[in-house]
Structures are given as C-alpha cells and as structure tokens.
Amino acid sequence: MFAEGWCPRVGDARLLRQNLCVSETDLPPEGPKTTVLVTVTGRDKPGVTSLLFAVLSQHSVSLLDVEQVVIRGRLILGVLIAQVRNPATLTAALVEAMHGVDMQVDMTIGANGVHRPVPTHAVVILGSPVTAQAFSAISAELAAQRANIDSIRGVADYPITGLELLVTATGGETDTRLRTALAEVAAREQVDVAVERAGLARRAKRLIVFDVDSTLIQGEVIEMLAAHAGVEDEVRAVTEAAMRGELDFAESLRRRVETLAGLDVSVIDKVADAIELTPGARTTIRTLRRLGYHCGVVSGGFRQVIEPLAHDLELDFVLANTLEVVDGKLTGGVTGDIVDRAGKAAALRRFAAEAGVPMEQTVAVGDGANDIDMLNAAGLGLAFNAKPALREVADAALSHPYLDAVLFILGVTREEVEAADARDGIRRRVPLD
Ligand SMILES: [Mg+2]
C-alpha cells in the first residue's frame, strides 16, 4: 500500500506502551510537518475504524491514502496522513484510543514518497490443491526475476483454489521472462500459472470464443456420430492419421464424414441430446454474459449438433461445418467452406469485427492443434487441457477439467460469481470427487 519512509522512533517513554511499535530514532519534537503512516491491527470488531477516524478528526489532519483489509477476522487498517505538525501528540492520542479497544498500533513517522505501487503483471495460480511448497517456489521465482509482490488475494476456493498476485516487475522483457520462468515452476509444482499484463487492458476483454469439442463440451461429436453409424474404428484410424500429420484437418474431416453416409438424420438430435457440457461451462458463459461479453463458439464439428446448445447458452456467434442431408439421410459430405485451423482464426476476427471489439480485447479458448491460429490471433489465448502444440502458443494453459478456471484468469472471483448467482436464485456447488 505505502512506500517505506524514514521511521524515527518515539522517544517519549510515555508512548512506549505494550501495543505501540515504532522504530528508529527520536521523533521531531515540534517542527516541520511530516507524513505519518498509522497501521492498526488486531481482531476485527465493530467501531474500530470509526474510533480511529474520530481521533484523527480531532487533530484536523488530511488523508493521503486509506486501505483496510479483514483476513479471517483480523483487521489491518492503514492510514497515511499528510502534514502532521506534532506526531507525538497524535501518536499518544491514537495509542490511547486503540489500546482501549485492544488493538495494536504501528506509527511510521515521515513516510514520505507516497507511492502506491502500480503493478505491471497479474499472476494467477490455480491448483487442486495449491501447496505451500508450490507457492513458495513461485514467490522465490518472482524474487529471482526481480518482480515484487504488491498484493495477494484469493480468487477461488471452488472447484479449485485460485490465488491472484499483483506484481511489479523490473528489468527488460518482463512478459516473456516471467511467463517462461513461471511456466517451468508451474509444471514442476503441478499448478497452473497465468501471467498477464495488469491494468485496464486485463479488464477490457469483451469477446470470448470457445472451441467446442473437448473444450465447451466433453468428448468429440464426430465420434458420437460414428458410434451411431458403427464406424468408430474407421473414424479413430483417420483421427490418428491426422494426429500423425499424415492428413490435414480438412482432409481428415472429409474422410471421417464420408463414413457417416446413409445415417438417418434423427441421429443428429440424439447426439445433440447426449452432449455433456464441460463442468463450469454454464457458469462461465452466464457470468461472462453478465459482464457484457459477447460469447461465441467456433468448431470443426457440426452446426446441426451445436446450434441447439448455442441457443440454450444464448451465444452471440456460432460457426461450424454443415453436414449435408438429402432425403432425411446424411450424404457423407459437408456443404460450404470447411471450418479448419485458419477458418477458426478468421471466424474470431469476423466475430470481433461484427461486435466492434478490437482483437486485443478478445479471448479464445481451445484444446486442439486446429485452435493454434485462433489462440495466436486472440488478445488472450487460453489452452484448456490442451495438446502440447497448443500449450506452447497459449498465453496460459489450464490443466484442470473445470471451464470456470477461465473466469479466475480474467480476474473474476468465485465470490463474485456466487453473489451474482444468488441474486438470481441460483445456488449450486456440485460436490467434487
Ligand atoms: Mg477441441
């Protein structure tokens, strides 16, 4: 909160009460005006803050800064006061008052150079659990990277633990340096660590686009369709060939869809009904919509399967491939342009243009190699339980199976999510395994 200043010790023995901690040399007895930082700590109770300010108001002082936090019932209240002519008198009065309500007072006289730190980066740690060892390793790495931790807050206690550190990094290449160094620690300590630039840009995101298969929903739609056609093995063989790099996405899609030729169109509805959202998907989209985000999906899967879901989630944008249907049967072909890796990035750009959102204010979330271009194009690219090739290009990689982790990366807390839900009568915490 406050920069450190010169901290002379209170020389007046009458002031050296048990609950007063002041350091260094004697106070200026009467003399030039100086700033004073008052820090009050102790068990929180009603009336402490009002009592402190009642005493201050009797001394007609002006405030430069005030900050108060209550951590598990313990109050920490800091007040930076300007132009105090007689700090000793003020100290005596504050000690008297605070002692009366069983609080500790720390006075720093001459706390000049008031610089509330302006953090350069937000570092979000997500884990289940976040161990003390992991936190220790991350804080040690931040110190090694000359990044000072300005504040820490808990952003989530469900379904995973989330901690957000605002840090001030010095030296060059801070983005790359912090991200690379912390990614190594995160992998070693089995937590997720996201590094973002702090400030307005972080809070200015306005459009989010999700991949569908294995990101917004569990599993792959083409495999569900193939199961109905009894061609799972054929489809899996093509998928594996594509993963080996023998086929590009468009070719692999064509070959897989060919295996569905002759399937009754009613299968589409059956598969659409069987889709299971990724845990946290509904919460994430509901919350982002409340924040005014435009929300969309772009998929190498199929429009006919995704559209009911997109309608249910009230999404603003949907782009996917279209299965060709003739006389109530799938023909084994797709109509229109195939949505592939390049097509997904192009869709993100088109959605952003239509919503009037600059690309740096967009977020893309995906899991597969065909999401690489889209994540690269987005202002913030998040890899969700992703293949290594995508994790490498992502701004942050999430490795827990809960989509609401996206909210915590964006600076939304679990508390805020649940408070908003409670106002709408939604109260739901699903027990976790
Ligand atoms: Mg996917």
pLDDT at 244: 77
Pairing of strands 294-302, 329-335: unpaired
Model confidence at 21, pLDDT cuts 50, 70, 90, reads very low
Q: Which of 213, 373, 395, 404 is catalytic?
A: 213
Neighbours of 274 (CB within 10 A): 13
Percent helix, percent strand, percent coil in the chain, to nearest 5: 40, 25, 35
Q: What is the mean pLDDT of the chain?
A: 89
pLDDT of residue 6: 33
What pLDDT score does 172 carry? 85
Judged by average pLDDT, the poorest of 160-169, 270-279, 387-396 is 387-396
Q: In angstroms, what is the span from residue 11 Cα to ligand 1's centroid?
A: 68
Confidence of residue 7 (pLDDT cuts 50, 70, 90): very low
Q: 97: which residues sit within 8 A by CB, 6+ positions away?
A: 51, 52, 54, 55
Burial of 352 (0-12, 13-18, 19+ CB in 10 A): buried
pLDDT at 433: 65
Highest averaged pLDDT of the listed ranges 23-32, 54-63, 406-415: 406-415
149-195 per-position pLDDT tens digit: 999 999 999 999 999 999 999 988 889 999 999 999 999 999 999 99
Q: What predicted TM-score, i.e. pTM, was given to this entire model?
A: 0.84
**159 CA to centre of ligand 1 in angstroms:** 22
Tell me the pLDDT band of 1, cut-offs 50, 70 and 90: very low
Is 211 catalytic? The answer is: yes
373 is annotated as an active-site residue: no
Going from the Cα of 175 to the center of ligand 1, the distance in angstroms, rounded, reads: 27
- Give residue 13 CA to ligand 1 midpoint distance, Å: 70
Determine the pLDDT at residue 152: 94
Closest to 222 measured CA to CA, from 193, 182, 186, 263: 263
Question: What is the CA 149 to chain-centroid distance, rounded?
Answer: 17
CA–centroid distance, residue 162 to ligand 1 (Å): 25
What number is the average pLDDT over the span 40-60? Answer: 94
Token couple for 397: 């990689």
More confident residue, 138 or 174: 138
Predicted pLDDT at 378: 97
Encode pLDDT of 79-94 as tens digits.
Answer: 999 888 888 899 999 9
Asked whether the beta carbons of 199 and 122 are under 8 A apart, the reply is: no
Indicate which residue of 102, 106, 175, 211 is catalytic. Answer: 211
Percent of the chain with pLDDT over 70: 91
Measure 294 CA to ligand 1 centroid, in angstroms: 20
| 213 CA distance to ligand 1 middle (Å) | 4
C-alpha 375 – ligand 1 centre gap (Å): 12
**DSSP per residue over 280-319, as a string?**
THHHHHHHHHHTT-EEEEEEEEEHHHHHHHHHHTT-SEEE
pLDDT at 320 exceeding the cut of 90 = yes
Contacts of 13 (CB under 8 A, 6+ apart): none
pLDDT at 146: 93
> Which residue type occupies 313?
L
CB atoms within 10 A of CB 40: 23
Residues 284-304: pLDDT tens digits?
A: 999 999 999 999 999 999 999
Quickly state the pLDDT bin for 249 (edges 50, 70, 90).
confident
Task: Give the mean pLDDT of 227-231.
Answer: 93
Phi first, then psi: give them for residue 189, nearest 5 degrees: -95, 0
pLDDT band at 18 (very low <50, low <70, confident <90, very high): very low
pLDDT at position 112 over 50: yes
Q: How far is the CA of 50 from the centre of ligand 1 (A)?
A: 55
Residues with CB under 5 A from ligand 1 (ion): 211, 213-214, 367-368
CA 369 – ligand 1 centroid, Å: 8
pLDDT of residue 246: 83
Both structure tokens of 292: 């005014």
Task: Output the CA 275–ligand 1 centroid distance in Å.
Answer: 14
What is the model's pLDDT at position 111?
Answer: 67
* Residue 383 Cα distances to 126, 158, 415, 432, angstroms: 14, 20, 24, 23
Output 389 or 345, whichever has higher pLDDT. 345
Count CB neighbours of 228 within 10 A: 17
Please provide the distance, in angstroms rounded to a whole number, between the alpha carbons at the two ends of the chain: 40
pLDDT > 90: percent of the chain: 76
Distance 367 CA to ligand 1 centre (A): 5
Comparison of pLDDT for 327 and 115, the residue scoring more: 327
